[in-house]
Amino acid sequence: MKMHRAEEIWLIISVSVLVLSMVVTGYQTFAQGMGPPSNMETIDPQKVDEHELFSEPGVYKTGENQYEVVMTLQIFSFTPGDIEIPAGAEVTFTMTSKDVVHGFQIAGTNVNAMVMPGHIQKITETFDEPGEYLILCNEYCGAGHQAMATTITVK
């Protein structure tokens, strides 16, 4: 197949853009640790309450301005809800679902993760800006999905 010169140039430029985007994505993922939430641990979805971690959901201090939020998602709520943390805190959310598939999103941040029954999902964010952030479920989970929300307040 013979190609037009202009077409070659077009393809070289556009494919370079694609490759460049991959390089950036790969660099951010593997060198800077900014990859998407991909935790590999599993859990029995019918025995979440008996799990060593999820039997007691809550906010735990793990270090100097570091926190772990152990959270269960179930129709149509987040446990714990109305979380408060100090400004500048690095918070790791460790989550699982007790029933169907849910989404964990904090509006105005890049925190966005799928939370599935049988899987433990983790995502970490540092909250520098004080204020009240809206946490919402962004995966349709049933009749009350539009009410599944809570807040995290950074003081």
Partner 1 sequence: METAVLKETFMDKTNKKLGVNPEDALVSKVYLSLAFILLLVGGTLGLLQGLNRAGLLQLPVWLNYYQILTAHGILLVVAFTTLFMTGYFYAGVSHTLGGLTSKARKFAWSALASLLVGTVMIMTTVVMGEASVMYTFYPPMQASPWFYIGLVFLALGIWLAGTGVFVNAASWKKANRGQKLPLFSFFAVGGYLLLILGSLGITAEVLMLIPWAFGWTETVNVMLSRTLFWAFGHTAVNVWYLVAVSAWYVAIPKIIGGKTFSDVLARVVVILSVILNVPGGFHHQIIDPGITQSVKFMHVFMSLSIALPSLLTAFAMFAIFERAGRKKGATGLLGWFKKLPWKDVRFLAPMIAMITFIPAGAGGIAQTNNQLNQTVHNSLWVVGHFHLTVGVTVALTFFGIAYWLIPYLSKRVMTARLNKLGLIQTWLWAIGMLFMSGSMHWVGLLGSPRRTSFSTYGDNATALSWDPYLMFLGIGGTLLFAGVVLMVYIVFHLMFRAPKGHTEFPIAEEEENASPTPKWTERWGLWIVLAIAVISMGYVIPIVDMIVNAPPGSPGFKTW
- Kind plus residue range of the DSSP H or E element containing 9: helix 5-30
Contact window for partner 1 (CB under 8 A) among 48-56, 57-65, 82-90, 113-121: 113-121
**Pairing verdict, β 149-154 and 83-85:** parallel
Binding to partner 1, residues 50-89 (CB under 8 A): 75
8 Å CB contact between 76 and 148: yes
For 132-146, give one letter per residue: b (16+ CB within 10 A) or e.
Answer: ebebbbebebeeebe
As a whole number of angstroms, the distance between CA 65 and CA 74 comes to 28
Residue selected from 51, 53, 65, 100 as contacting partner 1 according to rule CB under 8 A:
100
66 forms bridges with which residues in the sheet? Answer: 63, 90
8 Å CB contact between 82 and 90: no
Binding to partner 1, residues 120-139 (CB under 8 A): 120-121, 132-134, 136-139
Contact window for partner 1 (CB under 8 A) among 51-59, 63-71, 78-86, 116-124: 116-124
Residue selected from 57, 69, 91, 145 as contacting partner 1 according to rule CB under 8 A:
145
As a whole number of angstroms, the distance between CA 127 and CA 133 comes to 10
Two tokens, residue 139: 């995966």
Give the amino acid at 46. Answer: Q
Contact window for partner 1 (CB under 8 A) among 33-41, 49-57, 60-68, 80-88: 33-41
Residue 110 touching partner 1 (CB under 8 A): yes
For partner 1, the closer of residues 43 and 65 by Cβ is 43
Judged by the rule CB under 8 A, the positions of this chain that interact with partner 1 are: 1-2, 4, 6-7, 10-11, 14-15, 18, 21-22, 24-26, 28-30, 34-47, 75, 99-101, 103, 105, 107-108, 110, 112-121, 132-134, 136-147, 149, 151
